[in-house]
Amino acid sequence: MVYNFNAGPAMLPREVLLSAQENLIDFKGNGLSIIEASHRSSMYEEVHNEAIANIRKIYELPDDFEVLFLQGGASMQFAMVPLNLYQGGTIEFCDTGAWSSKAIKEVDILGYNYKIAASAKESGYDHIPQVNFSSSADYAYITSNNTIYGTQYKTFPKTKSPLVVDASSDIFSYPIDWENVDCLFAGAQKNAGPSGVTLVIIRKSLLERVSESVPTMLRYKTHAKANSLYNTPPTFGIYLIGLTLKWIESQGGIRSIQEYNAKKAALLYDVIDQSDGFYIGHAKPEARSHMNVTFTIHDQSLEAKLLEKAAQNGMIGLKGHRSVGGLRASIYNAMRLEGVQALASLLEDFAKENR
């Protein structure tokens, strides 16, 4: 097996894959696979409701929030969020990179009023800017972890307007203060499960905002009313999400996961900081992501050589996003400390050999 540092779809816990494998053909003695089961069957419904219950438990979610399983990726949410939450006022964004910009673009296409309250664009999205959202916005919008640039909020901005969070690349990696968050969404394929499922966690009161002109499938309310079974949901993906949440619980819950992730990230940032400029981290230290560690080599011509050496040692997925280049190690929840230690040693050796 390789150490998989891909940004997403990303590695899943081995225990999750083994459990899925064990039950793949004959699900818990039912004589058929969960993939083959009707989404209206009790066999599937149990899996579906258990996944939702596991999310509620791990995230300590208050009762006035709804958990939805949708499709279309996080990218679909860039349009669904404004379609459901815009009220003719202003949407306020904190622009921290390509994914925030794509969310802004959809609002622009819809012709809704918006304001960029803060942006990190000028400095190549290397930090999380200070942002003061107004108290009168229809909603305020942030991207909690910037997968491409390797920056992450350490705390979310406090705001009186409803706060919407794109948590695609750091969902389930730290506890959320639900007093301050009103809608959180994520494509599942990094920290929650396989691609094909989009998770939306939304305060119930916000469901009432949607206007009658929004098509049925694009309304959160449709899916909330039907317990995400309005149409055929991505059943197998939801099953895997349920298993992933159970795995988080088996690791001691979300606070243990958070600590473990901090330890993993520190290993790599230490190598970068102690390399005497051989490696250059992209994110400013105070904004460093615990999920995606982004860096370059002072002599960029060495990057291909490093990637080759990593591949020879069973480490894949370390190339930076095509829009920014460089290198990126994605170390989501499922990446074990051993994998990060192996990468840290490889980076140290490589720096010594190529100075």
DSSP 240-254: HHHHHHHHHHHTT-H
Binding status of residue 169 toward ligand PLP by CB under 6 A: yes
- Please state, in angstroms and rounded to a whole number, the distance separating the CA atoms of residues 281 and 285: 8
Residues 8-47 that bind ligand PLP (CB under 6 A): 8
The residue behind tokens 């039950």 is 23
Residues 99-128 that bind ligand PLP (CB under 6 A): 99
Binding status of residue 168 toward ligand PLP by CB under 6 A: yes
- Please state, in angstroms and rounded to a whole number, the distance separating the CA atoms of residues 200 and 220: 9
- Please state, in angstroms and rounded to a whole number, the distance separating the CA atoms of residues 131 and 118: 6
Region from 133-141, 163-171, 232-240, 308-316 binding ligand PLP, contact rule CB under 6 A: 163-171
Binding status of residue 306 toward ligand PLP by CB under 6 A: no
Pattern 127-146, binding to ligand PLP, x per CB under 6 A? ----------------x---
State the greatest distance between any 2 C-alpha atoms of the chain, in Å, as a whole number.
Answer: 64
User: How far apart are CB 165 and ligand PLP at their closest, in Å?
Assistant: 10
- 8 Å CB contact between 334 and 13: yes
117 CB contacts (<8 Å, ≥6 apart)?
92, 93, 94, 131, 132, 133, 134, 140
Interface residue with ligand PLP, options 23, 30, 71, 75 (CB under 6 A): 75
β partners of residue 164: 141, 183
Binding status of residue 333 toward ligand PLP by CB under 6 A: no
- Provide the CA 222 distance to its chain's centre, in angstroms: 24
β partners of residue 143: 166
Pattern 187-216, binding to ligand PLP, x per CB under 6 A? x-----------------------------
User: How far apart are CB 101 and ligand PLP at their closest, in Å?
Assistant: 11
Concerning whether 190 is annotated as a catalytic residue, the answer is: yes
Judged by beta carbon, residue 222 or residue 330, the one nearer ligand PLP is 330
Binding status of residue 173 toward ligand PLP by CB under 6 A: no
**Interacting residues toward ligand PLP by CB under 6 A:** 8, 73-75, 99, 143, 147, 166, 168-169, 187
Could you list the active site residues?
99, 166, 190
